[in-house]
Structure formats: structure tokens, C-alpha cells
Amino acid sequence: MLRNGLYNLLKNLSISENGVQENVRTLVTSLTRCRDVVDRREMLRSLPKPDEGTVGERTMDVDSSIHERTDRFPDIDTPNRLFNGIAFKDLPVFNIRVSPNNTIINVTDAKGVPKILRSCGIEGFKNTRKGTNIAAQATAITIGTKALEKGIKTVRVRVRGLGPGRMSAIKGLQMSGLQIISITDSTRVSWCPPRPRKRKKL
């Protein structure tokens, strides 16, 4: 690099026949500042963290949690297990009915008698806005606060259907202050689904 710099300096320097400099250009060469990384951990710590779009989401190692706590899964004694002094089979149930166009949430007691009913349409969302996850979350927060006013604190959740409001409704129930014990997915599965659409001809 230094040799190239001297060559460029001599090339740009032209002297006339009587020994007078005509055209002189100064060239400054300096070594690039290189920092030797001795420790690999230090190098990895200095790298910027990749943003995968999961900022604010909690992550956990599923395998280690399964091995640590085996009481997360239901067993034969689950219906009689107490949660805040109430047996699991006597806990009220939040039924979340999700479709692509709307989200309907109702609260029933352990026997299935409905207590409160709210939907995105009742909340004031119209037309296509009823099917959004924001509408589902707002509905869940409203029904959660109404349930807290009636003295319901510990609940079970049953989700049925496919749509954008599945996770948002559960998150809204948590934001309202309810303690969710279990989440059950009771989406119906068709053993004889309709035929798929035929392929587009190009």
C-alpha cells in the first residue's frame, strides 16, 4: 500500500526542463484503523442484535419447561384440583368464537349457563373492521372488565374457529386482569372437507 502511494506521488509530480515544479499534488497515506478482536465473546457482544420482529414477545425454551414442570398437562386429578380455592370443574368458561368476519365472546358458568355476551359488532366496530385483531382485543378487554365487576377472577378459555382474533382475544382477557388457568382449542375438524378449487389455467 505504501509502495502504491509513493508511485502515485512520483507519477503526479512533473518537473520541467529548467527544474521548476509545475504540478504537485500531495498524497497522504495512512494505515486503516484495525482493531484486533482477541475475545470472540466480546466480538459477538459488540455486534448489533438482529431484529426478527419479536420485540416485546416473551420467549421460553419449551423442552426445558416440559421437563421441569409436569403438572402443566391435565391428568386424572385435574377436575378436582383447586385454583384460588375453586375446583377446576367449577371454574367459569370464556367461550371465544372466532370467524374471519367477527369475534364473539361469551361467559358461561361451569354448567354452561350464559352470563355475559359481547361481540365486535356490539363494541361499535362496523363491516370489515369487525374481523380485525384490534376489534377482538377491545371486545375481550370489555368483557373481561365486566366479568371482574361480577366477581369472576379465575377462568378457563375455550377457543373455537379460525380467524385473526384468536390470540388477540386471549391477550385482551389477560390485559383486563383475569387469571387464565387453561386454554382449550375446540375448533371443529371436518373429516370430509370440500373439494379444493381447480388450478388456474395460464
Q: Are residues 89 and 24 in the same domain?
A: no
Residue 91 lies in a domain: yes
Regarding whether 178 and 100 lie in a shared domain, the answer is yes
Asked if 171 and 95 sit in the same domain, the reply is yes
Asked, for residue 90, whether it belongs to a domain, the answer is yes
pLDDT tens, residue by residue, 115-155: 999 999 999 999 999 999 999 999 999 999 999 999 999 99
When divided into structural domains, the chain yields a total of: 2
pLDDT at 156 > cutoff 70: yes
For residue 60, tell me if it sits in a domain: no
pLDDT at 61: 64
Query: Where in the chain does DSSP place strands (E)?
Result: 14-15, 21-23, 82-83, 86-87, 93-98, 103-108, 114-119, 154-160, 179-185
Residues 90 and 167 in one domain: yes
Pairwise CA distance, residues 91 & 181, whole Å? 9
Q: Residues 105, 177: one domain?
A: yes
**Top-confidence residue, 89 or 21:** 89
Q: What is the pLDDT of residue 16?
A: 46
User: What residues are paired with 103 via a beta bridge?
Assistant: 98
Is pLDDT of 185 > 90? yes
pLDDT digits (tens, 9 = 90+) for 74-114: 788 888 888 888 898 999 999 999 999 999 999 999 888 99
Which segments within 69-177 are labelled E, that is strand? Answer: 82-83, 86-87, 93-98, 103-108, 114-119, 154-160
Q: Which of 174, 169, 100, 162 is nearest to 134 (CA)?
A: 169
Q: Which residues contact 171 (CB under 8 A, 6 or more apart)?
A: 137, 140
Residue ranges making up the domain that contains 22:
1-29
CATH number, residue 172: 3.30.420.80
User: Which pTM value belongs to this model?
Assistant: 0.61
As a whole number, mean pLDDT of residues 41-50 equals: 70
In a domain, 69, yes or no: no
